């Protein structure tokens, strides 16, 4: 089959990034910025085309592409898109141009490198969502590492080196064991069917023994190898310690991509690989992950509450929110899984917007400490409105997107896991506490710092970057059915109900 | 000796004669010095072409030399390494005023030695090839005869190398005592007829042979010479030294392993190799973290990489051997890319090549820095580079053969190694330029070599099927 839409979608940003890196003249910053924006818009258009051709009633992979790659050992270049991948691809393609718009002026050194790294990163992300061969998935998964290392390490804040190295080592630690897991799956296929294969569909046919104990159970060991890689990416408490550093030190655009998209790869991986490939191990691990999810929700919320730095606060809120998604996934009903998926999108939109907005005042004041602000509502009314909207979306106000996801997760999980839901629900209250107290301290209270009196409100460029996110926050909140329908068939098949 | 015999070793003859011509040209036509490097590269390229035009299925010189797909594969990366090293050497020797014909002559002779050694079935011919290779390299290491570190490097390499040669020879003698033959083909026949037994004599012989070769491979515990020799040798020589002898020795080890049928005849062989592999990976990577000098860091990285390659030999079989061969092709490209750039990033040979000297160069010298970064990511085994493909193949063979724990040790080591490889990239791009900007030359040949190797590293990483096909054909020549 030679449909090339998905390949074009994946490779467009990366190819443009490489061309820019190798060919663009050194000082043509404006040209490079435009080239990046146009490329990401073209990618968005391609993602839109994929959406238009997508049949939501079909739970399987669509727009399938398959080519021999390393035929000697059963590795193929194969791509496919189901409903789960589609919504995440759309999120990625939507966020990328907004990142370019929002960091149009705030990135001024080595613009060419920045744009290229972002575009290569997008290729890695899209490829990981769409790969249907485990080897190919791994290649795309690791492809994200190098651009992100550069984005944090070159354009980041004061402690960027520490954060970048920590990010690389944490990510590699997880993914290298996953590599052994992938190899072992290929070996199992060889043992059971006589040929090596790393194709996703072939992996589903494997019979993986549960054995006894942990070290004696291939399925549990494989589950652990994959889950570790994904849990670090999510991040699941207690593997989250790289996240605050990476988020805080990354430039605004890097934080948006990191929080908005890269974290989703962890939960996506759990959904795509761990659940269908190792169903019994999944069952066995459910209590553990439920507990970790609840701990993450509450711990993340309390730590966020205690932060003095706005960006750090948003970063820790991610730990809490990702806990909800894990809870939804492991609760394992159709509703909770759908909720987890839509919550991935919501978190991408609202946290992406929050990081972008934190970047806005950081660009003006070069500080992110809460105590340096106060009373901004009178000086920057439009900015206040935008921040409040993103906050309300993040804490799950009915009518906005966050509510839909949290409600579905909790409602779907309640029947089987009432205690976890009860504990998790306190996280929603805590979320309101720390976010609203942030809003109060930054925007309401008295305006005590003179230098804040002259701050300029949102520029048209910043509006342009924020508006699409706002539209989707409201759209998903008011009419979630449109988006839920995309992934319904795929999720039903995944859950087997 | 028939004309058929001579025809089959035409590439080696070309190298030996070409080397001789260059040495004589130094005496009789020193005005041609500027062209020596290119001539040497051209000779090696000619030999490479010859090797691929000649048929690869002959047994010549009374069955002492076996010209098969495996031999052709090894010849290819030996000659590619020589071509690249010669190109790196041109500006380098110009700068250090050492552009003598002997340098290139020795380079070609070393290649001939490695090629002979890798394609023989006879222990004594192995030894002769090894000595031709080693003696050429001893001289090359000390080629900066006015520099103390270079002389020290050559001297150390000579002493340790002679010691290793003696151990190897002793092992060969013991093995001869146990088997009654120097020929691996006859050993294979005897093993098949169940006439060989794992007597203490044979095991001791094999252990000494392994130890002798382990010196050449610079694997733990026979690695101590490597950092000093790497650091002191002229950088193009280090580049050559880090790939050619190791590649040839690994193939000899593979031939020995195939002949002695490791799984049945000498099961002791496998745990021994596995232990050496684990020790090399672990020690090499851990100590590399502490290095401040790039060449020393790459020496320890080389020790670790030989450990990875040995994993492929532990998992012996077609898959394992093909993995080792791909590993070597990959290692050649990424290591020579790294050393080419190191050769450019230094102001004077007597000074150490400090990591800190790279600070900020990423934005000053984009081509070289980018090539070095790609080499580092490839050495760390991060896709989409050929370094990743190679590691994948080796670990795959290990898992396939039941050595899952060895693969796990291997990937954990990759994690450790990522730390120091990524640090190089960190210096290049994330450290500010020092106040006094270093005065690095950036000659076009080095740019060409570095960019070419980097392109190869990424190219074979994205499309490895052809390379793997060659390696599998080569492995099939030895293991059926």
- Closest B-chain CA to A109: B363
Predicted pLDDT at B330: 92
Look at A161 and B426 and tell me if their CB atoms are within 8 Å.
yes
Pairwise CA distance, residues B455 & B306, whole Å: 23
Regions of chain B with pLDDT less than 70: 1, 262-266, 349-350, 480
pTM, full prediction: 0.90
The residues pairing with A81 across neighbouring beta strands, listed in sequence order, are: A62
pLDDT of A315 over the 70 cut: yes
Predicted pLDDT at A383: 87
Please write the tens of the pLDDT for every residue from B314-372: 887 888 889 999 999 999 999 999 999 988 887 776 677 888 888 888 788 888 888 99
Pairwise CA distance, residues A265 & B160, whole Å: 51
Task: Please tell me if residue A143 touches chain B, with a CB cutoff of 8 Å.
Answer: yes
pLDDT of A480 over the 60 cut: yes
Look at A190 and B399 and tell me if their CB atoms are within 8 Å.
no
* Segment 393-432 of chain B within 8 Å of chain A by CB: 393, 395-396, 399-400, 404, 407-408, 411-412, 414-415, 418-419, 422-423, 425-426, 429-430
Pairwise CA distance, residues A47 & A63, whole Å: 12
- Closest B-chain CA to A156: B430
Contacts 24+ apart (CB under 8 A), B372-375: B372/B337, B372/B338, B372/B341, B372/B342, B372/B424, B372/B428, B372/B450, B373/B424, B373/B425, B373/B428, B373/B429, B374/B334, B374/B337, B374/B454, B374/B457, B374/B458, B375/B334, B375/B335, B375/B337, B375/B338, B375/B341, B375/B453, B375/B454, B375/B457
The rounded Cα A23 to chain-centroid distance in angstroms is 31
Residue with token string 């990591």: B355
Predicted pLDDT at A58: 85
Task: Please tell me if residue B444 touches chain A, with a CB cutoff of 8 Å.
Answer: no
Residue with token string 């050993």: B187
pLDDT of A24 over the 80 cut: no
Predicted pLDDT at A2: 60
Predicted pLDDT at A246: 85
A335-355 mean pLDDT: 91
Predicted pLDDT at B266: 65
A83-100 mean pLDDT: 91
pLDDT of A376 over the 90 cut: no
Look at A154 and B384 and tell me if their CB atoms are within 8 Å.
no
Predicted pLDDT at A202: 87
- Closest B-chain CA to A71: B465
Please write the tens of the pLDDT for every residue from A245-281: 888 888 888 888 988 899 999 999 999 999 889 988 9
- Contact between residue B391 and residue B377 where contact means Cβ atoms under 8 Å apart: no
Of A69, A110, A187, the CB nearest to B465: A69
Task: Please tell me if residue A164 touches chain B, with a CB cutoff of 8 Å.
Answer: yes
Predicted pLDDT at A370: 83
Please write the tens of the pLDDT for every residue from A285-294: 999 999 999 9
Express as a percent the part of chain A with pLDDT over 90. 21
Predicted pLDDT at A125: 93
3-state secondary structure of A387: helix
> What's the pLDDT band for A420 if we cut at 50, 70, 90?
confident
Pairwise CA distance, residues B387 & A286, whole Å: 37
Of A143, A150, A173, the CB nearest to B415: A173
Q: Report H helices in B262-403.
A: 269-289, 294-314, 318-344, 361-364, 366-380, 386-400
């Amino acid at each position: 089959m030679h449909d090339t839409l998905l390949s074009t979608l994946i490779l467009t940003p990366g190819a443009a990034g490489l061309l820019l890196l190798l060919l663009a003249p050194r000082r043509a910053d404006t040209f490079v910025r435009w080239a990046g924006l146009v490329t990401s818009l073209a990618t968005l258009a391609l993602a839109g085309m994929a959406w238009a051709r997508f049949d939501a009633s079909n739970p399987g992979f669509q727009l399938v592409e398959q080519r021999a790659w390393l035929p000697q050992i059963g590795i193929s270049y194969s791509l496919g898109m189901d409903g789960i991948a589609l919504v995440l691809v759309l999120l990625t393609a939507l966020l990328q141009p907004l990142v370019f718009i929002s960091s149009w002026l705030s990135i001024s050194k080595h613009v060419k490198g920045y744009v290229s790294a972002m575009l290569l990163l997008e290729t890695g992300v899209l490829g990981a969502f769409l790969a249907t061969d485990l080897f190919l998935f791994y290649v795309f998964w690791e492809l994200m590492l190098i651009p992100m290392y550069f984005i944090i390490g070159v354009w980041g804040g004061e402690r960027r080196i520490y954060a970048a190295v920590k990010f690389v080592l944490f990510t590699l630690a997880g993914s290298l064991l996953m590599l052994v897991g992938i190899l072992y799956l290929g070996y199992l296929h060889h043992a059971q069917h006589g040929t090596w294969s790393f194709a996703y569909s072939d992996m589903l046919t494997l019979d993986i023994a549960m054995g006894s104990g942990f070290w004696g159970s291939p399925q549990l060991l494989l589950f652990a190898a994959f889950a570790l890689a994904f849990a670090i990416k999510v991040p699941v408490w207690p593997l989250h310690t790289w996240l605050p550093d990476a988020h805080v030190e990354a430039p605004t655009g890097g934080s948006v991509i990191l929080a908005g998209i890269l974290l989703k790869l962890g939960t996506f991986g759990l959904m795509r690989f761990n659940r269908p490939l190792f169903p019994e191990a999944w069952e066995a691990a459910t209590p553990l992950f439920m507990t970790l999810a609840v701990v993450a929700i509450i711990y993340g919320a309390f730590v966020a509450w205690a932060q003095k730095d706005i960006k750090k606060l948003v970063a820790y809120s991610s730990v809490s929110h990702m806990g909800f998604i894990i809870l939804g996934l492991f609760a394992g009903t159709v509703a909770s899984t759908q909720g987890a998926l839509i919550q991935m999108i919501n978190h991408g939109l609202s946290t992406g917007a929050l990081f972008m907005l934190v970047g806005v005042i950081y660009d003006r004041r070069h500080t992110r400490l809460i105590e340096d602000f106060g009373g901004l509502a009178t000086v920057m009314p439009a900015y206040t409105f935008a921040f409040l909207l993103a906050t309300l979306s993040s804490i799950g106000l009915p009518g906005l997107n966050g509510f839909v996801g949290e409600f579905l997760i909790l409602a779907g999980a309640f029947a089987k896991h009432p205690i976890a839901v009860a504990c998790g629900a306190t996280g929603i209250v805590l979320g309101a506490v720390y976010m609203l107290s942030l809003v109060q301290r930054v925007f309401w209270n008295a305006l005590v710092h003179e230098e804040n009196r002259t701050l300029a409100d949102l520029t048209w460029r910043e509006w342009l970057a924020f508006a699409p996110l706002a539209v989707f926050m409201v759209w998903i909140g008011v009419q979630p059915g449109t988006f839920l329908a995309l992934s319904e068939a795929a999720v039903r098949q995944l859950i087997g109900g | 000796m028939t004309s058929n015999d001579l025809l089959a070793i035409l590439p080696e003859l070309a190298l030996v004669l070409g080397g001789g011509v260059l040495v004589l040209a130094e005496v009789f036509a020193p005005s041609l010095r500027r062209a020596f490097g290119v001539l040497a590269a051209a000779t090696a390229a000619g030999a490479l072409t010859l090797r691929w035009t000649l048929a690869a299925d002959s047994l010549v010189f009374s069955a002492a030399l076996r010209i098969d797909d495996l031999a052709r594969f090894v010849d290819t990366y030996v000659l590619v390494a020589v071509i690249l090293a010669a190109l790196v050497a041109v500006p380098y020797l110009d700068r250090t005023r050492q552009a003598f014909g002997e340098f290139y002559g020795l380079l070609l002779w070393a290649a001939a030695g490695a090629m002979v050694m890798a394609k023989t079935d006879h222990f004594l011919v192995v030894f002769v090839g090894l000595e031709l290779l080693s003696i050429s390299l001893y001289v090359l290491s000390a080629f900066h005869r006015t520099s103390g570190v270079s002389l020290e490097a050559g001297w150390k390499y000579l002493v340790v190398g002679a010691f290793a040669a003696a151990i190897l020879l002793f092992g060969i003698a013991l093995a001869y005592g146990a088997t009654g033959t120097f020929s691996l083909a006859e050993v294979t026949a005897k093993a098949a007829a169940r006439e060989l037994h794992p007597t203490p004599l044979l095991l001791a012989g094999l252990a000494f042979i392994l130890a002798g070769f382990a010196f050449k491979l610079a694997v733990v515990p026979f690695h101590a010479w490597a950092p000093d020799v790497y650091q002191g040798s002229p950088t193009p020589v280090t580049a050559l030294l880090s790939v050619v002898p190791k590649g040839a020795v690994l193939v000899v080890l593979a031939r020995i392993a195939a002949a002695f049928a490791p799984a049945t005849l000498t099961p002791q062989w496998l745990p021994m190799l596995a232990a050496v592999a684990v020790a090399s990976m672990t020690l090499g990577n851990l100590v590399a973290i502490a290095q401040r000098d790039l060449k020393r860091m790459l020496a320890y990285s080389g020790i670790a990489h030989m450990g990875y390659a040995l994993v492929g030999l532990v998992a012996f079989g077609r898959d394992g051997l093909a993995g080792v061969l791909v590993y070597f092709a990959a290692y050649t490209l990424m290591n020579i890319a790294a050393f080419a750039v190191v050769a450019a990033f230094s102001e004077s040979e007597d000074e150490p090549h400090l990591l800190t000297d790279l600070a900020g160069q990423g934005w000053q010298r984009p081509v070289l820095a980018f090539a070095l970064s790609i080499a580092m990511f490839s050495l760390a085994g991060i896709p989409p580079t050929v370094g990743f493909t190679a590691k994948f193949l080796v670990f795959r063979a290990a898992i396939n053969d039941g050595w899952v724990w060895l693969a796990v040790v291997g990937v954990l080591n990759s994690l450790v190694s990522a730390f120091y490889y990524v640090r190089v990239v960190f210096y290049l791009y994330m450290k500010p330029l020092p106040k006094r900007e270093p005065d690095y030359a950036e000659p076009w040949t080095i740019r060409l070599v570095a960019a070419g190797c980097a392109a190869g590293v990424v190219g074979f990483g994205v499309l490895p099927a052809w390379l793997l096909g060659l390696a599998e054909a080569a492995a099939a020549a030895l293991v059926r």
